[in-house]
Structure 1
């Protein structure tokens, strides 16, 4: 093949590579936007309305603290039942919440419209598995009122809704065999299980950022090895570029969504070796500088 025919073929290959790279970048961008748009929702698997219920409560997750294993939720009265008219209370309505951190009994006063109350649900998860960690918490919520000085349990319908940025939360009713007495009759009480997982957009963001971190030592090592072999001229200014890459590693690490704790698997499998690769590339480039730079005559 002559030089005249090789040149157009090389240009076509470069053009094809550029088009494919741009296509991949656009596809990744569109997927990230789509995942962000559909993520962060609270999925309520409550099913149909219960046959019997006295009080309806709304549970809206507000935030997830993966390090402390806590989910902050806001509880509001939708239907007060015998304790009021709609969401307007005529008497004090109490709510017993299992699995909560701190006070497990809250009260909505009888002064009119009930104000939402924030509680923290204790969850179980391993944050070091970021971004594939899952945090699960279970709670049973039973409303009650005081009649003749004695608490009277009310059948409680709990619905979950809302949106937590960066998280996908599923609420599911499960039967653990709990019993409570309503109107003198013992009935089963469902437990609501909340499962918090990272949203697809958060996972995509983290994977892309980790991929960019991996690219840095690859570029540095490619340049350093090429220069050391004498295929490119030594440029001392490239050392500052490599140093900038090295100092950018930690800011990129702290920019990961959800702030994975120090000591996560990404530190041992990715971040550590990114730093090793960058320092190794810098060392090879310094060796190339000593090898190929012209020596100055002393004196």
Structure 2
């Protein structure tokens, strides 16, 4: 009786330890996510009366196209607006290096709303989830068009981040027009944890399959014919789970060689082993 009681107590402690570890990991992920989304600072930038404030808001990443999508907004100073608060002249923003050579134009008499822009960025999408992209030597210049011709407008450039799961680093929170700066985007810690968690889910599939297959081959467990379909279902579940990876890494990425390939090989090995057990033991 004492031995059985000790074994039961030991099993309960093991179950409690596993549940506790899962709860701790769950709380840690939630706290990390909350801290990553509670660091927004209050914007205190204001344009000079005769100048402009330009926001370059990073909105999406297209790693396979080597580009960063942004929204460019212009907030003119009081000397550049009419009595209605609209632009009193055409304002042109020259952002380089854009993938299109067109300038961003904000016509007179309108409120300068955001315009889309695509910036060339260097990076390697195949290194997911450790990929990072850098747009080098970015410059922003602002010009005003009047009857007297095109005149430069002094401007302050602010790079902001609307990317979910990414960090954006422009080297400075406030950049003067004409100054060159680099914009680097990289996945934040919470995003990487999520990515690696999905990889662990994938690795769990062949681990379970091989455990069942090896136990059956060694005759520690009895062969069960319906289990063959279980192996097939897990094998076909790999591709849908891979497609859940954030950012949709291209085929041939780092994750395919380090995780996906071995998951598929493990599942196929387990299924072949189980079929061998069937051939050996089935009547």
**1:264 equivalent in alignment to 2:253:** yes
- 2:50 touches 2:80 (CA, 8 Å); kept in 1? no
Equivalent residue, structure 1, for 2:157: 158
Higher relative contact order (CA 8 A, sep 6+): 1
Q: Which moved more, 1:155-164 or 1:31-40?
A: 31-40
1:6 aligns with 2:33: no
Question: 1:89–1:113: 8 Å Cα contact kept in structure 2?
Answer: yes
User: Which residue of the partner structure matches residue 66 of structure 2?
Assistant: 69
Aligned pairs (5 A) from 1:1-299: 4-39=1-36, 54-80=51-77, 82-84=79-81, 88-138=86-136, 139-146=138-145, 149-173=148-172, 189-293=178-282, 295=283
Secondary structure, counterpart of 1:140 in structure 2:
strand
Deviation at 1:7, TM superposition (A): 2.3
Question: How far apart are residue 58 of structure 1 and its match?
Answer: 1.6
- Offset of residue 168 of structure 1: 2.0
Distance 1:41 1:71, change over 3 A: farther
CA distance in 2, matches of 1:113, 1:30: 45
CA deviation map 1:127-186 (0-9, x unaligned): 111011111113111111135554322221012334222322223249xxxxxxxxxxxx
Alpha-carbon shift at residue 273 of structure 1 (Å): 0.9
Displacement of 1:48: 8.7
Gaps of 5+ in 2: none
* Aligned-residue offset at 1:112: 2.8
Larger gyration radius, structure 1 or structure 2:
1
- How far, CA to CA, are the matches of 1:28 and 1:79 in structure 2? 48
SS at match of 2:180: strand
Whole-angstrom distance in 2 between the partners of 1:144 and 1:41? 36
Distance (Å, rounded) in 1 between the aligned partners of 2:135 and 2:127: 17
Bigger shift: residues 46-55 or 89-98:
46-55
> Kindly tell me: are residues 150 and 255 of structure 1, through their superposed partners in 2, closer, same or farther at Cα, counting changes over 3 Å?
same
**8 Å Cα contact 1:128-1:261 kept in structure 2:** yes
Aligned pairs, number? 280
**What's the TM-score, normalizing by structure 2?**
0.87
Deviation track 1:42-96 (CA, whole Å, cap 9, x = no partner) reads 989x999899972111222221112212111111122245432596200111111
State the distance in 2 between where 1:60 and 1:106 align: 14
Q: Distance in 2 between matches of 1:36 and 1:220?
A: 32
Query: 2:206–2:270: 8 Å Cα contact kept in structure 1?
Result: yes
Residues 170 and 204 of structure 1, relative CA distance in 2, 3 Å threshold: same
Matched residues in 1 for 2:39 and 2:104: separation? 23
Q: Whole-Å Cα distance in 2 between the matches of residues 291 and 136 of structure 1? A: 58
Q: TM-score, normalised by structure 1?
A: 0.83
Provide the alpha-carbon RMSD of the alignment: 3.0
Match of 1:184 in 2: none
Q: Which has the higher strand share?
A: 1
Give the direction of change, closer, same or farther, for the CA distance of 1:59–1:42 in structure 2 (3 Å limit). farther
